[in-house]
């Protein structure tokens, strides 16, 4: 089963964002169609130790443009209408710097 999972995953991008990590994975179906999974992984603590809480979205090719347009509109609304005076470049600069020195977390797992 693990071999099949590796075959159908064509691309993967990890985005670390504070306590959360997002995975953007392009996968293929048996009929050579493509879709995107977006996984949010958050490290949590429970009595026995740490575990990862995950939430996943499956995005199919016919919805790519609608999804992209909606997320761009929502982000634009926050930046221009709700927080016009906030300097978002300070967050982008911090994110860029943290990714330069970020080491790979071998314990981080996703479906």
Tell me the CATH number at 74: 3.10.450.700
In a domain, 42, yes or no: yes
In a domain, 49, yes or no: yes
In tens, the pLDDT along 47-92 reads: 888 888 999 999 999 999 999 999 999 999 999 999 999 988 877 6
In tens, the pLDDT along 19-31 reads: 899 999 999 988 9
The CA–CA distances, whole Å, from 69 to 21, 40, 63, 65, 105 equal: 23, 20, 10, 6, 32
Query: How much is the pTM?
Result: 0.69
In a domain, 110, yes or no: no
In a domain, 7, yes or no: yes
Q: Residue 64 is part of which domain span?
A: 2-101
Q: Could you write out the DSSP letters of every residue in 30-44?
A: TTS-EEEEEEEEEEE
> Rounded to 5 degrees, what are φ and ψ at 82?
-90, -35
Question: How many domains does one find in the chain?
Answer: 1
- Give CA angle at 14 (9, 15), nearest 5°: 150
- Look at the alpha carbons of 15, 12, 52, 59 in this order and tell me if their dihedral is positive or negative: positive
In a domain, 53, yes or no: yes
């Amino acid at each position: 089963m693990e071999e099949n999972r590796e075959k159908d995953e064509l691309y993967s991008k990890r985005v670390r964002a504070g306590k959360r990590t997002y995975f953007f994975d392009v996968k293929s179906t048996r009929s050579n169609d493509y879709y995107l999974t977006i996984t949010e992984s958050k490290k949590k603590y429970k009595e026995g130790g740490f575990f990862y809480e995950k939430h996943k979205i499956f995005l199919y090719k016919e919805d790519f443009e609608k999804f992209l347009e909606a997320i761009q509109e929502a982000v634009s609304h926050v930046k221009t209408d709700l927080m016009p005076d906030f300097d978002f470049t300070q967050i982008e600069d911090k994110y860029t710097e943290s990714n330069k020195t970020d080491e790979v977390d071998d314990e981080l797992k996703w479906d």
